[in-house]
Structure 1
Amino acid sequence: MKRKVFVVLAMVGFCLASFGKPGRKPNILFIIADDQFRDHFGFLGGKSLTPHIDRLANEGIYFENGFVSSSVCSPSRYTCMSGHFASRCPQPYFKEGSTEDGVTRILWNLGFIDGQPNVPRVLQQAGYKTGFTGKWHLNGTMHLIDPIEKGSDPYDPAVQKVMRNNQRIIAEEIKKFGFDFTQAVYGGNPDDDKTLKATGCNVHNQEWNTKAAIDFIEQNQDEPWYLYFAPTLMHVPDTFASLTGDPRKSGMGVLDEPITGVQPSRESVLARTKAAGIPDHNRAATWLDDGIGAVQAKLKELGLEKDTLIVYYNDNGMEYHSKGTCYQGGVRTQIMAYWPGVIEPGRPQELVQNVDFAPTFFEMAGIEPPKDMMLDGESLLPIFRGEQPADWRDAVYSEIGLTRSVTSKEWSYVAFYVPPSLQRTQAERVAEAKEYYYGPMLEEHPWMADQYPFLEDGRYFQLGMKPGGFAFERWQLKDPAGTPWAPNYFDQDQLYNLKTDPTEKNNLATSPEYKARLEKMQGRLKNYLGNLPGTYPGLKD
């Protein structure tokens, strides 16, 4: 367990002296995007129109070396809220996913136990008003709601009544984790909710989430607040279909009227993106960007712009083909911070990660975290002040399924050690994946049948629950030149020089001339593993 000691008085003096309203603690707007890959950001050269998000990066801080700890939704979000790596999760059903050898498997099996400290709960107890809108995807909520028969008419008043009650149930459940305000929420992805799927309401509705964010800010403008703003864009389902679909459809079924006036119209999005030549699959990035811009405009209108830190974080890496892996495309992500009058524009080079958000928020709010709260990160406030901390970390750690990795500024080491209890022949893996993974996962995430048709072959085996496993086997996917994205996916030890081989194609782990470098990177990984639960045969027994 790692804990931080905050120099509270000095820190509070720094924070409160920086705002327009003397003595007021800062607001925190935490925006967590969903599968917003590199091509969805205009400032990164993507084929997208995103001026408001670009402004956050260009007028605030954009971390050139920003990382996720786990490259799928649930563990990434768990880490943002808990302040520690997903492998520390105390939930019984997470622990049950460990192998017979004691290796933790990090999947979508994350959640909080009763009373467990987390960011919103700690801030709430310190006097902050806390709000949530958007995608939850942690402790399960789907089992709590009333079922709806497939093919039901979402415009039927009786169906609408059930769906609105289901929304109330999910919103009240999320409140239990430290939120005063929960509005316009999804238990998981829109496609995961069987009632939404049954009625064709499994859609994105950015205006619905934007309105909730603005409602919360307006209701709490006179006191410090923390808002976890989690839009569902740009994840599945089809974002363009949602953008051009019925604007009344939402996560609570069909609304009485479309939500208008909170951000530019959908027609405006379509007109602007058409004029800019944006491809259809990226046009919803402007829809999302408009929502971010509307919230920024509300902060300015209420005089809260200089009282509010905005942190923008993408929950998975920059490249779709690497999601669910420990490769750079999966673990390197977009992290930016915007705080007028406090943060000077820049692109710092420090290695930062989502474990750093909790200590940052606590320090800027003048809060000493509870003694039983495990924190694995460092406060980013020194970097916000333009300092270059001499003792900042020299590598970041990532974990997903059975894979572990460490990344420095120049090197990446990926370890894929299959413990003895999971050693299988290919035929055994296929049979187990079909029996224990493919059926149950499709029931929970039916959209995966279309997105990952090769699941049926049983080739996803590394990461799964029991006993076979599951992996995003991106080695099957190829770049435009026809080269596999991950040709060394199943190599036990993988060492890559990120300066000369940024796409990690050339594994140097078996080259004698890199033996010392391999051992150094393995040592860094062992240091992380030594402070985390579970075993890792070969590197931590």
Structure 2
Amino acid sequence: MKKVILEFFTKVSITLSLLLTISCNEIPQKNITNDKTPNVIIIYLDDLGYGDVGFNGGKIHTPHIDKLAQGGLVFDNGYASSATCTPSRYALLTGIYPWRKKEAKILEGTAPLLIDTSQTTLPKILKKAGYVTGIIGKWHLGLGKGNIDWNSHISPGPNEVGFDYSYIMAATQDRVPTVYITNGTVNNLDPEDKIEVSYRKNFEGEPTALDHPEMVKMKWHHGHNNSIVNGIPRIGYMKGGTQAKWVDTTMSKKFLKQAQQFVSQDKNKPFFLYYALQQPHVPRTPNPKFAGKSGMGARGDVIMEADWTIGQLMKTLEQNSLLDNTLIIFSSDNGPVLNDGYYDEAVEKLGNHNPWGPFSGGKYSLLQAGTHVPFITYWKGQIEPGTSDALVSQIDLVASLANLVNIKIPKTDSENLIDTFLGKKSDGRKELIIEATSRTAFRKGEWMMIPPYPGPKVLKQQNIETGNSEEYQLYNLRTDKKEQKNLAQSNKAKLDEMIKAFKAIRGTDKN
């Protein structure tokens, strides 16, 4: 009897050992789902073109961005929703096409909050999933309800649409007010030196670039001739707030320091950081450490500086052992522009660098370079490095990240492409509407259709093709990335198909 029992346990032991061996041999797979909820960082540059980065053939030195690309998934068909900043940021945070909201245009610094506080937003979704949420950098989605008092608490703003922490500029670096705002309060404000802001008329006795050109250190080219701050003429008028005004050349470092502190805080909760860099938007004011380093003028210099700040943030993540559990999404709000209001040698020193890559157009344009932007997803150990030709848009991040954290949301224009963003699937969305200064166009598969629009074919001051034409335009992007050969007449069947699909989304009475 003892012998039978002994033989039985011997067989069981051998069987268990064999199963354990097989199990252990099966464990080391490349892409095992991380059980812990990942941190999420969106690194969002301002006016960075598809061809401005090294991994897309750019001549500016961007080693840290390129390292993200080498270790992550590069989307060759990644899009911003719009060819200008405010609409793209609206779409990114709400998952809604900006053309659905008529106010979603380039906003003045005094504009009211564009996002309704009752709307579902990306930070609200992640906050509901237990995340600490933060926005650091450029906001440009409006503040308050109109008639802002900059000398008291400003509300509603980022905090009221889902961000636990906000450290922002209200609009853009070339617009007033030129101050940092933390959780709705202007930093370093002297109560005896109250801030006043207007986009309609100047304040009595306040110098502008037109009446005091001797005060200007950065010469304006077009549209930037109002209040002068730090020798730089801006859009809009501002009075007071002397101690609160930012120093342009240290802005990138200020935002970086805030980002580093945010990701280094309490590790018991996952975090979502929307890190919205102000570069390479005008005025381009590189820190002295980077001034002249690119050989391509201030625009090249600030792209190098932005790359350095991204490298510093990555270093902080690594030092805090966060890289293995952080999903990083890198992109830009719209395509490139060289001369956007100041003389800064961006045109003269461009050399053989091609900010728009293989495309035509740029910022403000319906042509590809307006919205076809750099796009990377990176998650160390989870996303297999490589490239994807899937059609994806920043508008899809809302539904995709909601799925990642198992939060149900109302239906929007956002599509759940989380498996595509993580490299588990190769297919993207089938169709996409893009927007530029309230005009819209339609991509479906490899085809792009642009309806007829009045207006100039080229923006003379910026030297950018707009995509405007008196006739419908139809391009096959697989064979004609520059959109040079209009097939609207020769392929009317495809044109009719595109128009029908476009109107099904956009509406029959709108272009």
Superposition deviation, residue 270 in structure 1: 4.8
Deviating more after overlay: 375-384 vs 515-524: 375-384
Is 2:376 the partner of 1:339? no
3-state DSSP of counterpart to 1:182: strand
Instruction: Provide Cα deviations, 1:196-226, integer angstroms capped at 9, x if missing partner.
Output: 5554247251110011111111113231110
Who is 1:298 aligned against?
316
Distance 2:466 2:77 in 1: 24
3-state DSSP of counterpart to 2:306: helix
Is 2:189 the partner of 1:206? no
3-state DSSP of counterpart to 1:283: helix
3-state DSSP of counterpart to 2:174: helix
Who is 2:272 aligned against?
226
Distance 1:223 1:333 in 2: 32
Who is 1:353 aligned against?
393
- Asked if the contact 2:84–2:437 (Cα under 8 Å) also holds between the matched residues in 1, the reply is no
Alpha-carbon distance change, 298 to 487 in structure 1, aligned in 2, over 3 angstroms: closer
Quick one: which amino acid aligns to residue 410 of structure 1?
Answer: E
Superposition deviation, residue 503 in structure 1: 2.1
Who is 2:509 aligned against?
536
- Asked if the contact 1:71–1:315 (Cα under 8 Å) also holds between the matched residues in 2, the reply is yes
Superposition deviation, residue 170 in structure 1: 5.6
Who is 2:87 aligned against?
75
Quick one: which amino acid aligns to residue 394 of structure 1?
Answer: K
Distance 2:155 2:68 in 1: 29
Quick one: which amino acid aligns to residue 528 of structure 1?
Answer: I
User: What pairs with 1:21-60 in structure 2 (closer than 5 Å)?
Assistant: 23-60=35-72
Q: Paired residues, what number?
A: 393
User: What pairs with 1:365-384 in structure 2 (closer than 5 Å)?
Assistant: 365-369=405-409, 371=410, 374-384=412-422
Alpha-carbon distance change, 143 to 41 in structure 1, aligned in 2, over 3 angstroms: farther
Quick one: which amino acid aligns to residue 500 of structure 2?
Answer: G
3-state DSSP of counterpart to 1:235: coil
3-state DSSP of counterpart to 1:322: coil
Quick one: which amino acid aligns to residue 303 of structure 1?
Answer: S
Quick one: which amino acid aligns to residue 67 of structure 2?
Answer: R
**Out of 142, 146, 162, which is 1:178 matched to?**
162
Quick one: which amino acid aligns to residue 302 of structure 1?
Answer: N
Distance 1:488 1:131 in 2: 36
3-state DSSP of counterpart to 1:190: coil
Superposition deviation, residue 187 in structure 1: 0.4
Who is 2:425 aligned against?
387
Who is 2:33 aligned against?
18
**Out of 384, 403, 409, which is 2:439 matched to?**
403
Superposition deviation, residue 43 in structure 1: 1.8
Superposition deviation, residue 345 in structure 1: 0.8
**Out of 482, 491, 496, which is 1:519 matched to?**
496
Is 2:132 the partner of 1:132? no
Quick one: which amino acid aligns to residue 363 of structure 2?
Answer: K
Listed as ranges, the gaps of 5+ residues in structure 1 are: 1-13, 98-104, 147-164, 245-265, 419-461, 463-472
3-state DSSP of counterpart to 1:416: coil
Alpha-carbon distance change, 328 to 195 in structure 1, aligned in 2, over 3 angstroms: closer
TM-score, length-scaled by structure 2: 0.70
Alpha-carbon distance change, 354 to 132 in structure 1, aligned in 2, over 3 angstroms: same
Alpha-carbon distance change, 403 to 180 in structure 1, aligned in 2, over 3 angstroms: same
Superposition deviation, residue 497 in structure 1: 3.0
Q: If each structure's strand is expressed as a fraction of its own residues, which one has the higher value?
A: 2
Who is 2:100 aligned against?
88
Q: Percent identity?
A: 29
Alpha-carbon distance change, 270 to 318 in structure 1, aligned in 2, over 3 angstroms: closer
- Asked if the contact 2:75–2:387 (Cα under 8 Å) also holds between the matched residues in 1, the reply is yes
Superposition deviation, residue 323 in structure 1: 1.3
Is 2:339 the partner of 1:307? no
Is 2:367 the partner of 1:327? yes
TM-score, length-scaled by structure 1: 0.66
Distance 1:202 1:490 in 2: 43
3-state DSSP of counterpart to 2:434: strand
- Cα RMSD after superposing both structures: 3.0
Who is 1:63 aligned against?
75
Listed as ranges, the gaps of 5+ residues in structure 2 are: 1-28, 180-226, 231-245, 339-360
- Asked if the contact 1:133–1:228 (Cα under 8 Å) also holds between the matched residues in 2, the reply is yes
Q: Point out the structure with max Rg over C-alpha.
A: 2
3-state DSSP of counterpart to 1:239: coil
Distance 2:403 2:479 in 1: 38
3-state DSSP of counterpart to 2:448: strand
